[in-house]
Amino acid sequence: MASRCTRTCSASSDAARVTAPITLRELAEIDVGRLRGVGERKREALAAFDIDNVLDLVTTYPRRWVDRTNEARIEDLVTGTEALVLVTVRSVAKRLLRNRRTMVTANVGDGTGRMQVVFFNQPWRERQLTEGLQVALFGKAEEYRGGLQMTNPIVDLIGDRTGRIVAIYPQSEKVQLTTWELAGWIENALERCQPRGVADPVPDAVRRRLGLIGRGDALRSIHLPETMREKEAARRRLAFDELLRVQLLLVMRKRALEHEARGVSHTIDGELVRRFHDHLPYPLTGAQLRVIAEISADLAAPHPMHRLLQGDVGSGKTVVAVSTMLTAVQGGHQGALMAPTEVLAEQHASSVRSLLDGVTVPDPNNLFGDRPLRVELLTNRIGGADRREVLAGLADGTVDIAIGTHALIQEGVAFHSLGAVVVDEQHRFGVEQRAALRDKSSGGVPDLLVMTATPIPRTAAMTVYGDLDVSVLDELPPGRTPIETRWANGGLLEAEVWADVREQVAAGRQAYVVCPLIDESEKLEVSSAEETYLRLAAGELAGLQLGLLHGRLTPADKEMTMDLFRAGRLDVLVATTVIEVGVDVPNATIMVVLDADRFGIAQLHQLRGRVGRGEHVSRCWLVTQHTDEPSPRVEAIVASTDGFELAEVDLELRGEGTLMSTSQKGRSDLKLASLRRDRELVSLARDAAFEIVDVDPKLAAHPELFDELDLLFTERDESFLTKS
């Protein structure tokens, strides 16, 4: 309706609209029913596919392209191997078998050979596969009575389309739409765009520099390529647009934060941080020095820091976090460290306290020149008078460093002057939660450092954390011994694992046993841990000193168990994943992960990081049920101890959808682009976004740019991009 009004109301813009290249916005206003051959029934079928307008249609991309001149030929089939062939149906027959089962047999062929295709219990195939029809078949060819045969292959209908490259569209048996119908309508729609051409919102300079083809050409070539190279160029262009949209959003947000928010300018060359560094029992690593310098530069600047710190397990992030918070403290502000769980918050509190033990704050108002540093823990477990006291200290500024969970950002918590916030995103806080913490202070927006011990590939980081600057701790402190990782494939091997544990304990070392992960319920997980503990104590590890640690123990009990283990009074700690992060006992050299198949790569890597922290050789056993082959995850962990390498494998195995949302369950909103395959393109899109936004922060000169990129998406999962 809106478009019609524009046309009749304004003659001058009417003329412009007819001659100017057509925009995606305009295509979105044209109903698919206006295309030749789309009647009411087809319109409904298309609607079931979420295709309502011409834009939806032309952005329904093929899911596969087959080059019929040198691919997918019968002559190239290898028996026993899955492959795709493009063939013509020659004849079809249906037979009734015993037990009222049906068998449809089709004879198919191409220029290079013939083959028989058999379908069991798919009687409708007889009607579907008419003589002369072109189909793509995907399946395993077998030798049968001297000829080739495929049984129950996946069938894609191609129709009678010609051309060297055949595009195959997503289709479903339920909705009566064939790939050739879709292809036909798309071709028709693109032909109608031809006279005006398709508008290209990406600035010429960017396009030329990156060698991207025009948008109209790209839309045509993705659907109707003459060659595979053409298809690739089209995909690259359209994928770039998707990535540019995401990056524009993130870069605009980043710049807005920098320009619009008033931060705290910290004193970076202060006495307190110097004291802390001098007090450490070891020199900082090169990577720690570099990262602390990067952070210091941000802290000194007037705008708020918004930085991600990536560092593998054991790379020494805690020291960096503490330096950051102390920088705030030495200027008279406060620091906060927020962890995703109570256990982690407690662990952080105890390790930060021990790092700061003996460090005092220079204080000109104090007769003795120094005052103690006050570090407090705030979680929901802390209540009553203790809680009131901590809250009062946060509000009047006598608490220097607050460590806690979400409790820190709850209603009723106020800081006197929060200067720096460190968020440990082990399990990823949402953008909103980070924002809430920033809002806790009455003064300037506090500086924010997000720490993650789950390395994510660089280009993925640019997307998931694209509104942040990134620092990487890429060097482990010296003196670590490499961890040997082995797969224990079921029963017999498990006996070897326990023998190894006993041997290590006899040599004076200690061990962790990690119990099966039970996602659905902490209660079940705890009872499985208790069971494992009892079983081992009475059986395989009888005679050793065993301890049990899980999330349902009281903080005091947990503390006691950890103290005993640290002191070497326990030989083996049977635990749930509560030990994933923060536990640091150099004498523990062996870890056994039970039911290792249930854990993700990142989690296994984190767990394994609990050993290999001292001078002795460490080993990690991954125990699984007996299977023929290890799962790809177990295989990856056995093969590598490099967190970044594992992150790449993880991305490969899980797909990017899992990366994009805070719930880790969301789907990706990228249709063509892939954070895995298009790494180079992600960086290029990010650079281009900076180039555009830094000249024109609100896109005033290209008001349509964002909209025209945004329209490429039909499904949205913006949970990772929610407003902050």
Nearer to ligand ADP, 137 or 637 (CB): 637
528: partner contacted, choices Mg ion, ligand ADP, none (Cβ within 5-8 A by kind): none
315: partner contacted, choices ligand ADP, Mg ion, none (Cβ within 5-8 A by kind): ligand ADP
Q: Interface mask (CB under 6 A) for ligand ADP, residues 604-643, using x and -?
A: ---------x------------------------------
Q: Tell me: does residue 284 bind ligand ADP (CB under 6 A).
A: yes
Q: Tokens 């029992």 belong to which residue?
A: 281
Distance CA 605, CA 454 (A): 9
Q: Tell me: does residue 124 bind ligand ADP (CB under 6 A).
A: no
Burial environment of residue 580 by CB neighbours within 10 A (0 to 12, 13 to 18, 19 or more): buried
Q: Tell me: does residue 285 bind ligand ADP (CB under 6 A).
A: yes
Contact 511, 501 (CB under 8 A): yes
Q: Among 477, 614, 666, 697, which residue interacts with ligand ADP (rule: CB under 6 A)?
A: 477
Cα–Cα distances in Å, from 104 out to 86, 125, 601?
Answer: 19, 7, 44
Contact 689, 247 (CB under 8 A): yes
Q: Interface mask (CB under 6 A) for ligand ADP, residues 408-447, using x and -?
A: ----------------------------------------
Nearer to ligand ADP, 584 or 704 (CB): 584
Residue type at position 408: L
Beta bridge partners of 157: 135
Nearer to Mg ion, 318 or 485 (CB): 318
Give the chain's count of helices (H) and strands (E).
Answer: 26, 23
Q: What is the closest distance, in whole angstroms, from the C-beta atom of residue 424 to ligand ADP in the complex?
A: 8
DSSP character at residue 336: E
Contact 167, 68 (CB under 8 A): no
Determine the interface stretch with ligand ADP among 163-171, 185-193, 310-318, 629-637 (rule: CB under 6 A): 310-318
The helix-helix angle for 342-356 and 555-566 (nearest 10°) equals 50
Query: For residue 539, what are its two tokens?
Result: 């059986």
In the region spanning residues 316 to 335, those forming contacts with Mg ion, defined by CB under 5 A, are 318
Q: Interface mask (CB under 6 A) for ligand ADP, residues 319-348, using x and -?
A: x-----------------------------
27: partner contacted, choices Mg ion, ligand ADP, none (Cβ within 5-8 A by kind): none
Q: Among 318, 489, 510, 662, which residue interacts with ligand ADP (rule: CB under 6 A)?
A: 318
Query: For residue 106, what are its two tokens?
Result: 């089709």
Nearest to 180 by CA among 246, 245, 134: 134
Distance CA 270, CA 147 (A): 83
Backbone angles phi, psi at 609, to 5 degrees: -65, -10
Determine the interface stretch with Mg ion among 116-124, 314-322, 379-387, 675-683 (rule: CB under 5 A): 314-322
Nearer to Mg ion, 497 or 604 (CB): 604
Distance CA 450, CA 304 (A): 13
Q: What is the closest distance, in whole angstroms, from the C-beta atom of residue 348 to Mg ion in the complex?
A: 8
Q: Among 79, 114, 282, 557, which residue interacts with ligand ADP (rule: CB under 6 A)?
A: 282
Q: What is the closest distance, in whole angstroms, from the C-beta atom of residue 723 to Mg ion in the complex?
A: 31
Determine the interface stretch with Mg ion among 201-209, 310-318, 324-332, 625-633 (rule: CB under 5 A): 310-318
Question: Going by DSSP bridges, is the β-strand pair 134-144/154-159 parallel, antiparallel, or unpaired?
Answer: antiparallel
311: partner contacted, choices Mg ion, ligand ADP, none (Cβ within 5-8 A by kind): ligand ADP
Q: What is the closest distance, in whole angstroms, from the C-beta atom of residue 351 to Mg ion in the complex?
A: 7
324: partner contacted, choices ligand ADP, Mg ion, none (Cβ within 5-8 A by kind): none
Q: What is the closest distance, in whole angstroms, from the C-beta atom of residue 403 to ligand ADP in the complex?
A: 14
Q: Among 253, 255, 307, 317, which residue interacts with ligand ADP (rule: CB under 6 A)?
A: 317
Contact 630, 485 (CB under 8 A): no
Distance CA 242, CA 685 (A): 9
Nearer to Mg ion, 318 or 603 (CB): 318
Contact 403, 377 (CB under 8 A): yes
Q: What is the closest distance, in whole angstroms, from the C-beta atom of residue 317 to ligand ADP in the complex?
A: 3
Q: What is the closest distance, in whole angstroms, from the C-beta atom of residue 355 to ligand ADP in the complex?
A: 8
Distance CA 591, CA 618 (A): 8
Q: What is the closest distance, in whole angstroms, from the C-beta atom of residue 340 to Mg ion in the complex?
A: 13
Distance CA 474, CA 191 (A): 53
Distance CA 145, CA 164 (A): 33
612: partner contacted, choices ligand ADP, Mg ion, none (Cβ within 5-8 A by kind): none
Q: What is the closest distance, in whole angstroms, from the C-beta atom of residue 358 to Mg ion in the complex?
A: 20
Distance CA 330, CA 314 (A): 27
Interior/surface letters 623-653, b for 16+ CB within 10 angstroms, e for the rest? bbeeeeebbebbebbbebbebeebbbbbbee
Contact 461, 308 (CB under 8 A): yes
Beta bridge partners of 420: 335, 447
Could you tell me which residues come within 8 angstroms of residue 99 by beta carbon, excluding any fewer than 6 positions away? none
Determine the interface stretch with ligand ADP among 83-91, 316-324, 464-472, 554-562 (rule: CB under 6 A): 316-324
DSSP character at residue 641: -
Q: What is the closest distance, in whole angstroms, from the C-beta atom of residue 429 to ligand ADP in the complex?
A: 17
Q: What is the closest distance, in whole angstroms, from the C-beta atom of residue 572 to ligand ADP in the complex?
A: 21
In the region spanning residues 568 to 607, those forming contacts with ligand ADP, defined by CB under 6 A, are 584
Q: Tokens 């660089």 belong to which residue?
A: 458
Q: Interface mask (CB under 6 A) for ligand ADP, residues 287-306, using x and -?
A: -x------------------
Nearest to 61 by CA among 220, 209, 226: 220
Rg (CA), the chain: 31
Nearer to Mg ion, 580 or 656 (CB): 580
Contact 597, 535 (CB under 8 A): no
285: partner contacted, choices Mg ion, ligand ADP, none (Cβ within 5-8 A by kind): ligand ADP
Backbone angles phi, psi at 207, to 5 degrees: -60, -45
Q: Tokens 């256990």 belong to which residue?
A: 343
Determine the interface stretch with Mg ion among 119-127, 313-321, 379-387, 413-421 (rule: CB under 5 A): 313-321
Q: Among 313, 488, 501, 573, which residue interacts with ligand ADP (rule: CB under 6 A)?
A: 313
Determine the interface stretch with ligand ADP among 129-137, 279-287, 289-297, 615-623 (rule: CB under 6 A): 279-287
Contact 327, 270 (CB under 8 A): yes
Query: For residue 374, what are its two tokens?
Result: 């006050």
Q: How many residues bind Mg ion (CB under 5 A)?
A: 1
Nearer to Mg ion, 321 or 445 (CB): 321
Distance CA 215, CA 199 (A): 7
Q: What is the closest distance, in whole angstroms, from the C-beta atom of residue 545 to ligand ADP in the complex?
A: 23
Q: What is the closest distance, in whole angstroms, from the C-beta atom of residue 333 to ligand ADP in the complex?
A: 23
Q: What is the closest distance, in whole angstroms, from the C-beta atom of residue 591 to Mg ion in the complex?
A: 17
Q: Tell me: does residue 453 bind ligand ADP (CB under 6 A).
A: yes
Which residue number is nearest to Mg ion in terms of Cβ?
Answer: 318
DSSP per-residue string spanning 160-174: T--SSEEEE----TT
Nearer to ligand ADP, 314 or 444 (CB): 314
In the region spanning residues 559 to 578, those forming contacts with Mg ion, defined by CB under 5 A, are none
314: partner contacted, choices Mg ion, ligand ADP, none (Cβ within 5-8 A by kind): ligand ADP
Chain residues binding Mg ion by CB under 5 A are: 318
Binding-site ranges for ligand ADP (CB under 6 A): 282, 284-285, 288, 311, 313-319, 453, 477, 584, 613
